[in-house]
Amino acid sequence: MAEAHQAVAFQFTVTPEGLGFQLSREAVRQLYLATVHSWKKRLVRTKNSFLSGVYPASPSSWVLVLMATAGSCYCRVDPSLGLIARIQHCLPHGEALTPRARSVVGTVVFSTGAWLAAVLLFRRLLRLLLSYHGWMFEPHGHMSRSTRLWIMREMREMGGCRSCGRCRTVEMMREMREVREMQELREMMREMWEMREMMREMRELREMMREMWEMREMMREMRELREMMREMREMGGCGSCGRCRTVEMMREMKEALIKIMSIRKPLLYSFQSSLPKLPVPPVKATVARYLESVRPLLDDDKYLEMAALAKEFQEKTAPRLQRYLRLKSWWTTNYVSDWWEEYIYLRGRSPLMVNSNYYAMDFLYVTPSPIQAARAANSVHAMLLYRRRLDRGEIPPMMALGVVPMCSYQSERMFNTTRIPGKETDTLLHLADSKHLAVYHKGRYYKVWLYYGGQLLPPADLEMQFQRILDDPSPPQPGEERLAALTAGERAPWAEARARFFSRGPNKVALDAIERAAFFLALDEDEHGQQPERPGCMDAYAKSLLHGCCYDRCAPQNLTCTHRHPKNTQTPQKPTQPRPCCTAAATTGSFTLVVYKNGKVGANAEHSWADAPIFMLATDKFQLGYTEGGHCKGDPRWQLAPPQRLQWDIPPEAVAAIEASLRVAQAVAAIEASLRVTWVWAQCRFRFRFRCHAMPCHAVLCPQAVAAIEASLRAVAAIEASLRVAQAVAAIEASLRVARALAEDVDFCCFPFSTFGKGLIKRCRTSPDAFIQIALQLAHFRDKGSFCLTYEASMTRLFREGRTETVRSCTAEATAFVRCMADPHGSRSERQRLFKAAAEKHQQLYRLAMTGAGIDRHLFCLYLMSRYLGTQSPFLAKVLSEPWRLSTSQTPQQQLRMFDLNQFPDHVSSGGGFGPVADDGYGVSYIIAGENLITFHVSSKFSSPETDSQRFGRNIRQAMLDIAGLFDKPPPATGK
């Protein structure tokens, strides 16, 4: 093949005259460009790492400190109080260091030390500021003095309050003291939002003016360079000589220095070392909140029993465990994250499909392009652009309320990450870079290179490559189509099969190509999406993304299998697995990008590497765009080598002879034993010749006997090889049966609720999340006639390396409201009062979870510490064995604000979902998209007679309408 010859830099042949080499200029050129690209990336990473390490300072501030110190010394004013003189005294004496040079070196060393000390001081101060979380607990319409001071200091540290903007902020804070009515408060918040937008525009304008100034300087330098070249030509010089090249290099270096010195905005990891550590809450507070959370779920006898266990644990076992846990929190960045990743995710042995992985959908109402290859190309290119910015750390950190930075640690493994199976525990393999993509289509695997000439392939070239795959008429190799089913079954069998059948030869080469890809792309032959005339279309869309055909979503790479939380069937020796944390409207990292035939896209994501991925599914239209015909912009380069088809060593006869090979396996031992005895007793048949010696006699075989024995041994080797291949195919089929049984048991109900959205909920003066969570409690009570332990995922990314915490939504206040709603004699005013109390309680729990005062992560770590110390705790064992029969998660809309949703209201996301956690429970994901839309994703299992996703979906609709009807702003009757 042509691409095979271009893949190597040289070829050689061995002849009688010696070695003959044939160099490939194109290959050498590609190698050179790849090396240059790699070094450029390293330099950019080094520069950004340095800038992040000294934030909020910058290299320009170091220059200012140096100039101020040098100016003071020139004026004979010593700002160092004698330190510069001491530094000069410590410098070595010699001819190289003159007194003037020693003075300069001492000034530079002192200025650098003073600058670094100021950087450390600022970062320490910033950490103290970020450790304050009182702003989350402020009641509506009021703000304490400490919070006001914190906001002013925080905005000053972040650079968010400048000149007149600072005065306006102080003025608006003064007005907040006079606000008493909710309408005035809402108007003030709107003004603050407009002010923030104005300040953002002013910063953008300032940045634009700076760039224009740089362009002006660049044009001036170009004019000087042009004048210099003209003078050199007049003097007989050459514009392409080395002197001109030196001048050009000096100009480029100057431009690079200007860019480095002009960095102002925070980079992705600028706040990482300034974020506070996750605090270890007191055991007494954790136990008290736990007992409060289970009180509405237990009768008096069971509650007293649990309270007794809790008291015994708190007085006898907990103090020792808490001391060790505090010690762990001192030497680790986050006392939860490492254990959470290992024991909850990587040690899970159950199938990851449905139990752990989650999915994300495309736009609900629009499809940017109906052409499958074009949509795939733009989506892939947009993700790769995001990956490049991510590698360089150029993405601004995510901010809570636009002020408080959140941890960016999880972004590190967003791409080039693979979960490697193991018998007892899996491992995460993260590569620094990956230059190819793994593609699946119609049972065939391809390797697509993403770079050419050291540059990223443009969308037009990617579209051409994907179209070549779609047009490829070749059938799958025997056993190739269902190969990925291995990753959909139990983890231990997949680890064993990987070690036995994919550790050598072409299978290892093909598997490495998949595992080391940037991410995985599946070109699906089905069509999915929102179609109002097709009932159940969104349910089919969700099922397709979650498990597909059980072998086209979970490829052995970084695509689709991790763990969120499998059904709760653990013994007390194994903690309950976590709930799904679907926290992004679109996804990335260890994931599979699915592109359907009609241009719709989606993703199935691996969960162990992060909890809040940010997928780029919705940015291809706004970043790149399409032509009028729906194709990618630009012209493709037809000279590009076509995608490489991955090869597998699974011969056709092995697939057809699985059962026969298994029967033959029982006779292998007998055949081998028979062959070992045959040569002893075959003297007459094969004409043995004997020689007599003083030593014991030995037999010498004639050529016919040797040939017969070798043929028999070759037959045995062929049978053993056939058995190995048959066992590999049998392992694939076994995993496929497990995956199909799991997938066919999933019952989905996905529906958009467009009667009202967060606009009406806010007019009811409550939090949209609290409104929906209370509605879910009402729907569940109507569905099953009882309450259950409810899980809602909350993030702890206000702390360094924070992941998630549990909000136990089934509170005493919520159950009281639900019972009042079920009581036909309950008054409207009483229901309103109970609803507001339940909403306020839920908000309080959510704030506690976000600020590190949750329940479940602390108890989880105490449990693991007890296992390490060999201490038995009936209280912890019982807590961690409780099933979560209602697992919920909210998908935030537009975490990165890639486009203005108000300007494009029809580009709302459908959100994402996950499978049920418990066999007899529900999994509910929802996304609050816009002012008048909430999309729900409900999952359960057909095998449970207690659950029905369609029935629960109807109960959710009715519960939302009933709660809205309690207020004076009922929704219109025309919604769905």
Catalytic residue IDs: 607
Q: CA–CA separation, 503 vs 3, rounded Å?
A: 25
Q: CA–CA separation, 845 vs 838, rounded Å?
A: 11
DSSP string, 259-318: HHHT--S--TTTTGGGSPPPP---HHHHHHHHHHHHGGGS-HHHHHHHHHHHHHIIIIIH
Residue 5 makes CB contacts below 8 A (sequence gap 6+) with 11, 24
Q: CA–CA separation, 722 vs 656, rounded Å?
A: 11
With 0-12 / 13-18 / 19 or more C-beta atoms within 10 angstroms meaning exposed / middle / buried, residue 8 is exposed
Residues in the chain, total: 976
Nearest to 881 by CA among 608, 607, 567: 567
The amino acid sitting at 286 is T
CB burial string 918-932: b at 16+ within 10 A, e below? bbbbbbbbbbbbbeb
Structure tokens at 226: 């042009």
Cross-strand pairs, 699: 690
Please compute Rg for the chain using Cα positions.
Answer: 34
CB burial string 826-864: b at 16+ within 10 A, e below? eeeeebbebbbbbbbbbbebbbbbbbbbbbbbbbbbbbb
Nearest to 602 by CA among 612, 614, 617, 591: 617
The DSSP element (H or E) to which 937 belongs, if any, is strand 934-941
Structural contact between residues 185 and 141, judged by C-beta atoms closer than 8 angstroms: yes
Q: CA–CA separation, 94 vs 99, rounded Å?
A: 10
DSSP string, 123-136: HHHHHHHHT--GGG
Structural contact between residues 267 and 55, judged by C-beta atoms closer than 8 angstroms: yes
CA distance readout (Å), 4 to 11, 19, 474, 516, 642: 11, 21, 19, 20, 11
Structure tokens at 677: 């005895």
| Residue located via tokens 């449905």 | 354
CA distance readout (Å), 843 to 136, 142, 769: 10, 16, 9
3-state secondary structure 663-696: HHHHHHHHHHHHHHHHHHHCHHHHCCEEECCCCC
With 0-12 / 13-18 / 19 or more C-beta atoms within 10 angstroms meaning exposed / middle / buried, residue 359 is buried
Long-range contacts for 282-286 (Cβ within 8 Å, ≥24 apart)?
283/314, 283/318, 283/319, 283/322, 283/858, 283/862, 284/314, 285/853, 286/855, 286/858, 286/859
Nearest to 867 by CA among 321, 309, 287: 321
With 0-12 / 13-18 / 19 or more C-beta atoms within 10 angstroms meaning exposed / middle / buried, residue 358 is buried
Structural contact between residues 527 and 600, judged by C-beta atoms closer than 8 angstroms: yes
DSSP string, 430-481: E-S---EEEEEETTEEEEEE-EETTEEPPHHHHHHHHHHHHH--PPPPTTTT
